[in-house]
A and B are shown apart, each in its own frame.
Chain A
Amino acid sequence: MYKNLSIAQKHIVWAWAFLALPVVFYVVIRFYPTANAMLISFQDWNLLGSRTWAGMENYQKLWNDPVFWQVFRNTFVYLILGTPISLVLSFVVAYHLDKTRFMHGTIRMLYFLPFMTSAVAMAWVWRWFYQPVPIGLFNNWLAQFGIPQIEFLRSTTNALPAILAPAVWAGLGFQIIIFMAGLRAIPQSYYEAARIDGVSKWSVLFEITIPLLKPTIVFLVVFSSIGFLRIFDQVFNMTTGDPGGPLNSTKPLVLQIYQSAFTDFDMGYAAAQTVVLFLILLVVSLLQLYLLRDR
């Protein structure tokens, strides 16, 4: 049978033989669950009882739930604080590290090391830093210098930035490395031309470097935005005992989803929230495609 096929036909057979198992995987483990999550979002189900049709009930509940809006707001606060701060910090470091030769590799290693840690382990380390005196490192420092104590994790205003800090910290190394690769890709001839024309440093930065880094910047903005929108590990581990922080002040969407599904067993409600998360991330991804369309 196989011997009688033309070369093109043999290729088709091979291609589908190679793809058979992966196609099953993507259908069963990716597409079916996606459809299922959307279906469950229109149902009422507590995992034990029967699944009953609920129509738009879960979405209505979502719309009228003050906790959901709080969570929605928190999620965007993580994004709006986290993305610009981490981008500016990593760009400043990358820009200067790019011009530094002495111990270049060592310094790069220092900045990159946190990226190799696990978010759970580091969440507990930072949690210790934030404890009140006499335990927490930060407050002990403050006490040594006679500065008033700061409530970190137990304050409704400070807890969210306090949880954001280790997330920004751990991601900086990756962004610095990507920025440096982007800086290296800019042809030196642009800089030489600017130097001959006597253009100031700041003009070079804003007229040449940053515009030419646009693809890198868009990639990092989207990459880190998606990361902050999905923040969970740090929040979960820094607020065990009081998940979501005082008055839900730190609770992001993913933690709310986790609690609805696996603490309250309200599967339909949790699924409706995952659909909202999906739509938010979809908009961010499409925005990236739109911004990079002329590439």
Chain B
Amino acid sequence: MAAVDDIRASSDTLFESRAARRKANMGQYIRWSLLFLGGIMMVMPIVYMLSTSLKWPHEIYDVSLIPKEPHLENYTFVLEDGRFYGWFINSLIIATITTISNVLFDSLVGYTLCKFRFPGRYIIFIAILSTLMIPTEMLVIPWYLMSQSFGWLDTHWGIMFPGLMTAFGTFLMKQFFETVPDDFIEAARIDGLNELQIWWTVAMPLVRPALAALAIFVFLGNWTAFIWPLIVTNSWDMYTLPVGLSTFADEADVAWELVMTGAAISTIPTLVVFLIFQRFIIRGVVMAGLKG
């Protein structure tokens, strides 16, 4: 890109007058200012949420962004209530196990469909591909009935079983295993590794960026998932963070500073993770978005 910019710059000096360049510079400043202003507006809801969570109740009527006497009482109050800990742990357990399951199984299936020739391969491929077209909302009623008859209602397993494998992840991984040369796999076979070892020790390390992208998507998706956990849980100690927050906010209704605190508690973890792994996550999103 730098080289291209140089070319652009040099052609600018060759063909354009100084006045035209000053005009172009002016345009750049305006462009940058508007973009930056837009960016600030984009984060305002998050900033207001955080600022209100630090305000006293009488102050929430004040539109000012900076709390007059910032304090953490709201956080103490919400966390002393105790339920948020449980919801946080539930969400963490479900998102973590689902992510591990997806990383393992989606990549195993993607790898098998990509690197093995066997009867039935095409049918399996089409069958899994076709599940992309089935909306979750169509399956929630049968899943609910299934959970009811197997006693999975109101359990961690009940919340996570529908998402343990995804067609999206399978195709993402299949695409990336195409980039692993068959020669590597042949060489490993000659060295006497069995197929499971080849998948795990040879192929998997070569698609690590794709695995990370998949993990980010699955984790975030399950961390924020709402409709299925809402349906399958019915006691507050099994709620996930979004379901818990929804009921908590509904109870706290008029105490907006507490609602904002609850919202902040469920938002801060993903924001912190994002700020730490920013470049990495954006690259993963592009990869998953374009290849998936």
The residues of A with any CB-CB pair to B shorter than 8 Å are: 8, 11-12, 14-16, 18-19, 21-23, 25-26, 29-34, 36-37, 40, 93, 96-97, 99-103, 105-122, 124-126, 128-129, 131, 134-135, 137, 140-141, 144, 166, 169, 172-174, 177-178, 181, 188, 192, 195, 219, 223, 230, 232-233, 236-237, 240-241, 254, 257-258, 261-262, 267, 270-271, 274-275, 277-278, 281-282, 285
**Considering the chains assembled together, what is the distance between the CA atoms of A192 and B8 in angstroms?**
9
Tell whether, in the assembled complex, residue B282 and residue A135 are in contact, meaning their CB atoms are under 8 Å apart: no
Segment among B70-78, B159-167, B175-183, B207-215 that sits at the interface with chain A = B159-167
B189 and chain A: residue at smallest CB distance:
A7
Q: Is the CB of A177 within 8 A of B286?
A: yes
Q: Quick check: B38 and A93 within 8 Å, CB to CB?
A: yes
Question: Given the known A-B contacts A113-B43, A114-B43, A278-B138, are A121 and B242 also in contact in the complex, defined by CB atoms under 8 Å?
Answer: yes
CB-nearest residue of chain B to A286: B133
> Is the C-beta of B274 less than 8 angstroms from some C-beta in chain A?
yes
Interface string of B275-292 (1 = CB under 8 A from A): 100110010011001100
> Which residues of chain A are near B63, meaning CB under 8 Å?
137, 140-141, 144
Which residue from B35, B112, B249, B279 sits with its C-beta under 8 Å from A93?
B35
Inter-subunit contact B133/A140 (CB<8 Å): no
- Closest A-B pairs by Cβ, 3 of them: A110-B39, A33-B142, A121-B263
Some 27 contacts from A to B, beta carbons below 8 A apart, are: A11-B118, A12-B118, A14-B116, A15-B121, A18-B108, A33-B142, A100-B32, A110-B42, A114-B46, A117-B270, A121-B245, A124-B249, A125-B48, A129-B45, A129-B48, A137-B63, A141-B63, A144-B63, A173-B42, A174-B285, A178-B286, A262-B231, A274-B141, A277-B135, A277-B137, A277-B138, A278-B133
Compute how far the CA of A178 lies from the CA of B109 in the bound complex, rounded to whole angstroms: 27
Interface residues of B in 1-60 (CB under 8 A from A): 4-5, 7, 11, 28, 31-32, 34-36, 38-40, 42-43, 45-46, 48-49, 52, 60
The answer to whether B242 and A285 touch across the interface, beta carbons within 8 angstroms, is: no
Docked complex: B102-161 residues within 8 A CB-CB of A:
105, 108-109, 111-112, 116-121, 124, 127-128, 131-146, 161
> In angstroms, how far is the closest chain A Cβ from the Cβ of B145?
7
Could you tell me the distance between the alpha carbons of A118 and B266 in the complex, rounded to whole angstroms?
Answer: 8
**Chain A nearest CB: distance from B124 CB in Å?**
6
> What residues of chain B lie closer than 8 Å to A34, measured between beta carbons?
134, 138-139, 142
Instruction: A271 to B120: give the CA distance in the assembly, Å.
Output: 32
Given contacts A118-B223, A174-B289, A275-B138, 13 further A-B contacts (CB under 8 A): A19-B112, A22-B108, A25-B164, A26-B128, A31-B127, A106-B39, A109-B278, A114-B43, A116-B273, A119-B226, A121-B49, A140-B63, A172-B42
> Is the CB–CB distance between A181 and B290 below 8 Å?
yes
Contacts of A96 in B (CB 8 A): 31, 34-35
**Residue among B34, B120, B132, B256 with the highest chain A CB neighbour number at 10 A:** B256
Nearest chain B CB to A281's CB is how many angstroms away?
5
